[in-house]
């Protein structure tokens, strides 16, 4: 199911107090939504509406609310106490002066269409998706650095007439490798089920084969890894030799700048090769040695005019102060803002001469060198102008020297498949008596796990009467049977439902 980043852009008189992810409500229209982005320089709010049948009114007042909850929400607790809505706290108010549709919607409905760009991010293991608020692994991967080489990002650009220039695809600060990709259309069956999809990826230089067939793709060094600060957060599983500023550690592994080059980044997780090199113990985390089963494929669909840079670029031949000779000036126009790859300085093209020279308003970095790409900064970049679909890799359908073919299922459908397929009956428990879910320790006393209560000291028969011996201790599978044993916390039925077990 496609998810939008935002629907409308609200121009307001004051954005003070408005915070991303807080709710916003129109005082007159009662339209509600969630704030996707706050632009303090232009007093703009990008809002994802809760209901597209409602609309904000121009000149109406809006207010932003933060939700207050109670309860721990700790899934690991024996007695789960979910977070519950408590109240709303108003954090900001403003008045709308103008309303505009999202940039994505405007581009989609425009008479002249820009090239469509699909951005694919492959996360593996899938349990480490989505990233937490700090950009580090969430879910089962919390507290660990990302597996090396992931996420893998690749892109396809459709509808562009120019194909003889190398492409650079960057969006939201992430770089994507242009790749021939083919994904079947998203379709929905008559019963509402989202059909399975096929993703075909060009297997150039056996890039996908190496991933698929590597049994040590994901894992951890359980004996030599250390903790480090990654994205402002303490995480585990790090090779100490890749941590900047580290000179020694209790395991005797010293910082080595060359290791950063090996991993391609600092604060890197151990891989299998380096674990063996330091005599560590490798714990495998790949789910299947034959494929990327369980990986998550995130697909963002946007337009080329919303990317960080325009996809086309040329490379440097020579640099003389503020004059740059490039291989081909075809992508550039007078007035474009340009930036060297890896640099931070920008300059404006004032003139173009002899189809080879760019005369800039300012110099770029002094180390701008031969072969370095010169990107065109996109002044219309919008990192929230996309729709997003998320899928799970269900199986590897085919793999050869040309293409890798994966079967995908929708993210929501995946969770529906892994949800325990139990019947929702109110008058019967579906657990095995004294099994791992029931956990009843009796008869003859014993503490009920997760409570301070004691099990019934007497054996209880299936008719909920005291049995003559322990052999007669049989559960009647009802809420009454659980209550008599003080074990109702582990009752495996659903008393709140209206459905009962059919009578024989």
- Residue 187: predicted pLDDT: 54
Average pLDDT over the chain, rounded to whole? 81
What's the sign of the alpha-carbon dihedral 144, 147, 148, 151?
negative
3-state DSSP percent of the chain in helix, strand and coil, to 5: 10, 35, 55
CA neighbor of 197 nearest in space, from 184, 182, 178 = 184
**What residue spans define the domains of the chain?**
3-101, 219-284, 313-377, 421-504
Average pLDDT over residues 417-443: 74
Measured CA to CA, the distance from residue 199 to residue 196 in angstroms comes to 10
Q: Given this model, what pLDDT does residue 373 score?
A: 93
Tell me 295's DSSP state. Answer: -
pLDDT digits (tens, 9 = 90+) for 100-149: 888 888 888 878 778 888 999 999 888 788 888 778 887 777 777 788 88
Q: What is the pTM of this model?
A: 0.70
One-character DSSP codes across 27-60: TTT--EEEEEEEETTTTEEEEEES-TT----TT-
For range 396-418, the mean pLDDT: 76
* Residue that has been written with the tokens 């793999």 in this structure: 399
User: What is the predicted pLDDT for the residue at 318?
Assistant: 93
At residue 499, does pLDDT exceed 60?
Answer: no
Provide the pairing of β-strand 152-158 with 174-178.
parallel
| Share of residues in the chain with pLDDT > 70 (%) | 84
Residue count of the chain: 504
| Euclidean distance between CA atoms 94 and 61, whole angstroms | 6
pLDDT in tens, 462-490: 888 888 888 889 898 888 888 888 888 88
Matching CATH number, 313-377, of 3.30.429.10, 2.40.30.20, 2.40.30.10, 3.90.1150.10 = 2.40.30.20
Tracing tokens 């002899």 back to the chain, one arrives at: 354
Q: What is the pLDDT of residue 377?
A: 94
Which of 307, 247, 241 shows the shortest CA–CA distance to 270? 241
Phi, psi (rounded to 5 degrees) for 312: -80, 150
Look at 134 and 88; give whichever has higher pLDDT: 134
Q: Per mean pLDDT, which range of 85-99, 219-233, 453-467 is the poorest? A: 85-99
Q: Rounded mean pLDDT of 282-286?
A: 83
Give me the pLDDT at residue 388, please: 87
Q: How many CB atoms are located within 10 Å of the residue 186 CB?
A: 15
Which residues have CB under 8 Å from 435's CB, separation 6+? none
What does the alpha-carbon distance between residue 135 and residue 181 come to, in Å, rounded to a whole number? 26
Listed ranges 191-205, 248-262, 337-351; the one with the highest mean pLDDT: 337-351
pLDDT in the model for residue 88 = 63
Comparing 374 with 424, the larger pLDDT belongs to 374
């Amino acid at each position: 199911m496609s998810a939008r980043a935002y629907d409308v852009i609200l121009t307001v008189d004051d954005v003070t107090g408005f915070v991303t992810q807080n709710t916003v409500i129109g005082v007159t229209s009662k339209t509600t939504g969630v704030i996707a982005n706050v632009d303090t320089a232009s007093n703009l709010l990008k809002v994802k509406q809760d209901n597209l049948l409602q609309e904000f009114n121009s000149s109406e007042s809006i207010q932003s609310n933060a939700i207050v909850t109670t309860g721990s929400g700790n899934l690991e607790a024996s007695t789960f106490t979910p977070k519950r809505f408590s109240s709303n706290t108003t954090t900001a108010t403003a008045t709308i002066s103008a309303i505009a549709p999202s940039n994505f919607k405007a581009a989609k409905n425009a008479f002249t269409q820009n090239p469509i760009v699909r951005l694919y991010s492959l996360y593996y293991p899938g349990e480490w998706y989505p990233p937490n608020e700090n950009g580090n692994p969430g879910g089962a991967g919390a507290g660990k650095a990302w597996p090396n080489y992931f996420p893998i990002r690749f892109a396809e650009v459709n509808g562009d007439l120019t194909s003889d220039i190398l492409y650079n695809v960057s969006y939201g600060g992430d770089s994507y490798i242009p790749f021939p990709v083919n994904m079947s259309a998203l379709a929905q069956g008559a019963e509402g089920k989202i059909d399975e999809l096929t993703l075909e990826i060009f297997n150039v230089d056996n890039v996908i084969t190496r991933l698929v067939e590597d049994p040590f793709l994901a894992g951890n060094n359980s004996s030599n890894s250390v903790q480090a600060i990654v994205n402002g957060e303490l995480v585990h599983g790090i090779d100490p030799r890749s941590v900047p500023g580290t000179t020694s550690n209790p395991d005797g592994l010293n910082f080595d700048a060359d290791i950063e080059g090996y991993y391609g980044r600092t604060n890197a997780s151990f891989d299998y090769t380096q674990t063996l090199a330091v005599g560590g113990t490798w714990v495998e985390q790949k789910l299947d040695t034959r494929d990327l089963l369980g990986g998550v494929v995130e697909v963002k669909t946007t337009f080329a005019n919303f990317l960080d840079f325009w996809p086309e670029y040329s490379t440097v031949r020579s640099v003389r102060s503020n004059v740059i000779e490039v291989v081909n000036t075809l992508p550039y126009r007078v007035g474009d803002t340009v930036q060297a790859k890896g640099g931070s300085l920008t300059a404006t093209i004032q003139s173009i001469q002899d189809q080879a020279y760019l005369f800039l308003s300012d110099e770029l970095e002094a180390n701008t060198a031969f072969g370095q790409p010169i990107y065109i900064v996109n002044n219309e970049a919008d990192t929230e102008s996309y729709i997003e679909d998320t899928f799970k890799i269900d199986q590897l359908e085919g793999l050869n020297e040309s293409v890798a073919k994966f079967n995908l299922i929708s993210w929501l459908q995946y969770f529906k498949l892994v949800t325990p397929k139990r019947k929702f009956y109110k008058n019967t428990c579906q657990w095995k008596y004294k099994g791992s879910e029931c956990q009843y320790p009796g008869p003859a006393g014993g503490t009920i796990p997760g409570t301070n209560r004691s099990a019934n000291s007497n054996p209880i028969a299936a008719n909920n009467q005291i049995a003559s011996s322990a052999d007669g201790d049989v559960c009647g599978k009802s809420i009454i049977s659980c209550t008599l044993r003080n074990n109702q916390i582990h009752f495996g039925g659903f008393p709140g439902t209206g459905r009962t077990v059919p009578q024989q």
